[in-house]
């Protein structure tokens, strides 16, 4: 199995230029440069708690063992696919190394603007509302204005959803599977906690702007927007600092089934330049990937049955295009503020289940990602992940022969 994974790099030149041109059809292909950036480290020590889990439920659907069972998501910020994947992109580790090792999804879209509604969609299937579109600068409770509607959508507005709104975290726990969110810089500014950090209900969010030495952003941590998580001990064990990740990657048993990684506001590319003097943007995002992705790809869980997805929450706000026939949001007439979506961001998928050099023209979005994970683990489809016409990852992505 290890030979299968490491062989990706030996084939990275095959079709690499064609991949880049497919991603940048609108802008063409050109030569590019190399990134330079330094990653700031922190001194906090890993915790010794286990990934968040619960006893298995009596659900009858079994995980699909022909699909990845350990999924690693790295969320980056605010880039158009045409810029990220151009031959001139400074994100060369992403666009050359990782692209050559896996599948490129050039027609992958955000579902709205600004950031938070995209993160919420990934873990719950809930559509944007005016508060999440505005990134919840005040951390308010969601106020429902009616009963749950079509495709599990709760009408209303606000930030923190009631416990009745399910998430993939709860689904995994009910199945006896595990999840954990790894948040860079969380807890760097006392008295901010080092686990499950979020404002008090009704309070302004102090992480809206990056602070020197602490660039954690609550709005990029979707799990703390659900009472079903923050009101329980699951949040303390499930939402942890990034420094915990190397310890958890040491064995299959300690690696959660869902690993959700949020870099800080500099290393996710959101800020440029950054408050600590780094360049930010794709340069610093690329350096983050170079630092952390090799550890993931070398981990026992990834080698056994893993899948890495690197994508972006949204394109620039000038691009409010959408895909995938998503039904209208009951809470936002224009999820993208000026249009139906969050624009074309692209994604890269690396896995032993994926043939290196793959390019798929299938349109996907963040609801598709949720749908794909739920299919892998035999879970029900939440929210718009269950909408008709939505494509989940299929044979166009999972196309590598398995022993």
Res 59 pLDDT > 50: no
Q: What's the mean pLDDT in 136-144?
A: 98
3-state secondary structure the chain: CHHHHHHHHHCCCCCHHHHHHHHCCCCCCCCCCCCCCCCCCCCCCCCCCCCECCCCCCCCCCCCCCCCCEEEEEEECCCCHHHHCCCCCCCHHHHHHHHHHCEEECCEECCCCCHHHHHHHHHHCCCCCHHHHCCCCEECECEECCCCCHHHCCCEECCEECCCCCCHHHHHHHCCCCEEEEECCCCCCCCCCCCCCCCCCCEECCCCCCECCECCCHHHCHHHHEHHHHCCCHHHHHEEEHHHHHHHCCCCCCCCCEEEEECCCCCCCCCCCCCCCCCCHHHHHHHHHHHHHHHHHCCHHHHHHEEEEEEECCCCCCCCCCCCCCCCCCCCCCCCCCCCCCCECCEEEECCCCCCCEECCCCEEHHHHHHHHHHHCCCCCCHHHHCCCCCCCCCCCCCCCCC
In this prediction, residue 56 has a pLDDT band, given cuts at 50, 70 and 90, of very low
Q: What's the mean pLDDT in 146-158?
A: 97
Res 375 pLDDT > 80: yes
pLDDT tens, position by position, 310-340: 999 999 999 999 999 999 999 999 999 999 9
pLDDT tens, position by position, 165-192: 999 999 999 999 999 999 999 999 999 9
Res 53 pLDDT > 70: no
Residue 359 to residue 399: CA distance in whole angstroms: 11
Please report how many Cα atoms fall inside a 13 Å half-sphere around the Cα of residue 98, on the Cβ side.
Answer: 28
Give the pLDDT confidence score for residue 297 in this predicted structure: 98
Res 37 pLDDT > 80: no
Query: What percent of the chain is predicted at pLDDT more than 70?
Result: 85
Give the pLDDT confidence score for residue 23 in this predicted structure: 54
In this prediction, residue 49 has a pLDDT band, given cuts at 50, 70 and 90, of low
pLDDT tens, position by position, 203-257: 999 999 999 999 999 999 999 999 999 999 999 999 999 999 999 999 999 999 9
Res 43 pLDDT > 50: no
Burial class of residue 239 (count of CB atoms within 10 Å of its CB; 0-12, 13-18, 19+): buried
In this prediction, residue 123 has a pLDDT band, given cuts at 50, 70 and 90, of very high
CB of 113 closer than 8 Å to CB of 342: yes
Distances (CA, A) of 292 to 190, 263, 354: 26, 10, 20
Residue 271 to residue 280: CA distance in whole angstroms: 6
Q: Which fold has domain 2-23+61-316+325-341+359-386?
A: Alkaline Phosphatase, subunit A (3.40.720)
Record the pTM: 0.88
């Amino acid at each position: 199995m290890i030979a299968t994974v490491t062989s990706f790099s030996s084939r990275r030149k095959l079709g690499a230029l064609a991949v880049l041109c497919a991603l940048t059809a609108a802008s063409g292909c050109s030569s590019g440069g190399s990134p330079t950036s330094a990653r700031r480290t922190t001194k906090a020590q890993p915790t010794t708690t286990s990934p968040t889990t619960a006893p298995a439920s009596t659900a009858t659907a079994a995980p699909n063992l022909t699909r990845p069972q350990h999924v690693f998501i790295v969320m980056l910020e605010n880039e158009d696919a045409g810029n990220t994947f151009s031959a001139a992109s400074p994100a060369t580790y992403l666009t050359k190394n990782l692209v050559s090792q896996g599948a490129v999804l050039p027609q992958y879209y955000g579902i709205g603007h600004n950031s938070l509604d995209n993160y919420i969609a990934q873990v719950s299937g809930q559509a944007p509302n005016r508060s999440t579109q505005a990134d919840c600068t005040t951390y308010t409770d969601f106020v429902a204005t009616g009963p749950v509607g079509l495709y599990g959508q709760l009408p209303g507005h606000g930030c923190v959803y009631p416990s009745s709104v399910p998430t993939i975290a709860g689904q995994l726990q009910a199945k006896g599977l595990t999840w954990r969110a790894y948040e860079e810089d969380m807890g760097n500014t006392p008295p901010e906690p080092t686990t499950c950090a979020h404002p008090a209900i009704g309070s302004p969010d102090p992480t809206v702007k990056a602070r020197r030495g602490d660039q954690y952003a609550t709005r990029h941590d979707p799990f703390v927007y659900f009472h079903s998580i923050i009101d329980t001990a699951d949040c303390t064990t499930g939402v942890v600092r990034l420094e915990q990740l190397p310890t958890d990657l040491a064995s299959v048993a300690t690696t959660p089934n869902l690993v959700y990684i949020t870099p800080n506001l500099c290393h996710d590319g959101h800020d440029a330049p950054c408050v600590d003097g780094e360049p930010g943007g794709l340069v610093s995002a690329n350096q983050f990937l170079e630092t952390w992705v090799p550890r993931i790809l070398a981990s026992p869980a990834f080698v056994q049955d893993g899948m890495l997805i690197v994508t972006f929450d949204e394109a620039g706000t000038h691009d409010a295009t959408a895909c995938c026939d998503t039904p209208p949001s009951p809470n936002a007439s224009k999820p993208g503020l000026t249009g139906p979506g969050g624009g074309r961001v692209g994604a890269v998928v690396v896995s032993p289940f994926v043939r290196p050099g793959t390019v798929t023209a299938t349109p996907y979005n963040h609801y598709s990602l949720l749908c794909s994970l739920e299919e892998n683990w035999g879970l029900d489809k939440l929210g718009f992940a269950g909408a008709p016409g939505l494509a989940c990852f299929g044979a166009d992505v999972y196309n590598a022969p398995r022993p």
